[in-house]
Structure 1
Amino acid sequence: MKIGIGLPNQVRDVRPTVIPAWASQAEAAGFSTLGTVGRIAYPGVMDTVALAAAAGATSTIGLISNVLLATVWPPVLLAKELAGIDGVSGGRLTLGVGIGGRPDDFVADGAGPKGLGKRMDHDLEVYRDIWNSKPVGGGDNPAVPAGTREIPLLFGGFAPAALARMARWGEGYVGGSIPPEMVAGAFDGARAAWTEAGREGSPRLVAIAYYAFGDPDKGRGNVHDYYSNMGEQAGFIASTVRTSADEVKEVAKAFEALGADELIFNPATDDPDEITRLADVIL
């Protein structure tokens, strides 16, 4: 199982200058992938911006959004922006997407928090058209350079429709920020949907876990703050922040037993020392 690390782009009031240096340090430490978390109505750095900064600051480490709220974006603009990030990185981007659910994230005119499944299905068609250089805007010009590839897709969510969408469009599934025993059913569902769709092999399975070594209380507070609109669920998610070497090793062992291909540890603070602390424990 590969071990990745998140960028702290959605820690409240993150220092944006930390992000490129964080990416470079994580690559040097030997992590497999850099991940982002996405929201609009929160005082962080947009996941596309964080991924672009990471792409420019690194040369080999993978990049993944886990997950980007695709439905809050106009699809042509998002597809073009993602193609640029992937191109700058040399083809290292994997797009993890979800439909979103917090009403305050839907700030684009005409793209409110309704009909999200249908919107996602439409947007996926648009992404494919853009990445395959079909003209946009009623003229003859494509939005992306020649040679642009179709970016690999991962999908989050628990509904049967989300799993079916994953099996049709994606290469795998991203689990939620919950304990392994609660992700197990979703992983099984992803495998079943994959088989039912007639796909060969198995879906790529990516897991997520929060951690905070240097200041556990601050880390748990930051995670609680990020999920505060979810009521009691925010406290539960905050309680799962791993704060010791034993807890980090234990969750890694549990996700590996579930068949996860990669586990990405999301930082709960923007302290760059957390990169070395995690690397010393798990790499």
Structure 2
Amino acid sequence: MPGDRIIFGAAAIPEPDRDWLAAVERLPVESIWQGGHVLPPGPTGEAITRLALMTAWTERVRVGAAVLLLPLYPPVVVAKQLADLDSRSGGRLTVGVGVGGEFRHEFDAVGVPLAERGPRTDEAMWILRTLWGGGPASHHGAFFSFEDVELRPVCPPAEPGPRMRPGGPPLVVSGRRERAMRRAAHLGDGWLPYLVSPEAYARSVRTIEEEAGAAGRDLAGFEWMMYLYCSIRRDGDRARDDVARFLGSAYGDKPRDMLDRIAPAGTPDQVAARLQAYVDAGVRHFVISPAAHDDTLEVVRLAAEEVLPRLSVPASVG
């Protein structure tokens, strides 16, 4: 079952910025996240490039990919890149994994059939863990094969210095469908859905727990996370306008009542009430993604300083 501590992370929207990251590190925020596409429709960053910037420009927080579209990448190459980043950052990396698919041209351009993105992701997760396990490794799967290779993460020069954690960084699974829940239950170190209601999150918790139980897997240490688009302002109407402008057209001009179920907006009191419903459903680590085109630091600051203290784990858990 989910644990007894609630923590907040933040998404570096729209791009990682050194001053923004420094300001967020001074807040009660424990992680910072960014993802990215290989061939996005606009001039926005790619996930591993953004991770490199964020690990270099931060000192304290965990740094996460939300998300890395794993089927677009050769898994042996990405295993080395992520191992080096985890080592250089002192073991601060977490990798959110997704299958993508919204931009078919990305898959066509890298020679990956769209229909194979799920099984390729599963196999790639096994490969990452195999290579991060240390020592010579072999793998012969449906899509990838190698024999007796060894991945050696970069060793920072300082002694004693930071190193990649034994077994590599955690892999948390993103998505909304049951296939993603099954992937989290069997292969993931956590669950990181997005654009779901508290009721849908509670159903996902049950599905993952049932799937893991049937497989004989103990979910001790599993992270129950939520990537949450939201806006928090002193002026609640401004916050709701933020979300409508930021998400409405991008997700099919959804009506405001539907957006409110999946992307809370309002004053700190109003948003805290909405987030408490997610906590009751099982969320313990929120990644606050400002659904706003300006003043995103204010959204994160109000979340960390005024929303987080209002949340509490249900008394039956602990």
- What TM-score, normalized by structure 2, do the two folds share? 0.74
Report the RMSD for the aligned CA atoms in angstroms.
Answer: 3.0
The number of aligned residues is 274
Match for residue 132 of structure 2? 131
User: Following TM superposition, by how much is the alpha carbon of 1:28 offset from its aligned partner in structure 2, in angstroms?
Assistant: 1.0
Matched, 1:207 2:230: no
Q: Counterparts of 1:107 and 1:234 in 2: how far apart (Å)?
A: 33
User: Following TM superposition, by how much is the alpha carbon of 1:140 offset from its aligned partner in structure 2, in angstroms?
Assistant: 6.5
Look up the equivalent residue of 1:263 and give its one-letter code: F
Match for residue 118 of structure 1? 119
Look up the equivalent residue of 1:65 and give its one-letter code: A
Look up the equivalent residue of 1:255 and give its one-letter code: Y
Label 1:196 to 1:218 Cα distance change in 2 as closer, same or farther (>3 A): same
Look up the equivalent residue of 2:95 and give its one-letter code: L
Label 1:234 to 1:52 Cα distance change in 2 as closer, same or farther (>3 A): farther
Match for residue 3 of structure 1? 7
Q: Deviations over 1:132-163 (max 9, x none)?
A: 45489989763633664422111123444433
Match for residue 259 of structure 1? 282
Question: 2:45 is paired with a residue of what secondary structure?
Answer: coil
Q: Deviations over 1:178-223 (max 9, x none)?
A: 2212221111111112222212244321122212235532443222
Label 1:247 to 1:68 Cα distance change in 2 as closer, same or farther (>3 A): farther
Label 1:250 to 1:42 Cα distance change in 2 as closer, same or farther (>3 A): farther
The question of whether the paired residues in 2 share the 8 Å contact of 1:223 and 1:237 is answered with: no
Stretches of structure 1 lacking an aligned partner (at least 5 in a row): none
Q: Counterparts of 2:11 and 2:229 in 1: how far apart (Å)?
A: 11
Q: Deviations over 1:33-81 (max 9, x none)?
A: 2122433424322232232222222222122223322112222222222
Question: 1:115 is paired with a residue of what secondary structure?
Answer: helix
Q: Counterparts of 1:20 and 1:236 in 2: how far apart (Å)?
A: 36
Question: 1:199 is paired with a residue of what secondary structure?
Answer: coil
Q: Deviations over 1:104-134 (max 9, x none)?
A: 4436421232211221122123212432454
Label 1:126 to 1:218 Cα distance change in 2 as closer, same or farther (>3 A): same
Q: Which moved more, 1:232-241 or 1:148-157?
A: 232-241
Match for residue 25 of structure 2? 27
Q: Counterparts of 2:56 and 2:69 in 1: how far apart (Å)?
A: 23
Match for residue 142 of structure 1? 151
Match for residue 221 of structure 1? 245
Q: Deviations over 1:218-269 (max 9, x none)?
A: 44322235x44xx356977744342321232012211211222212211123
Question: 2:68 is paired with a residue of what secondary structure?
Answer: strand
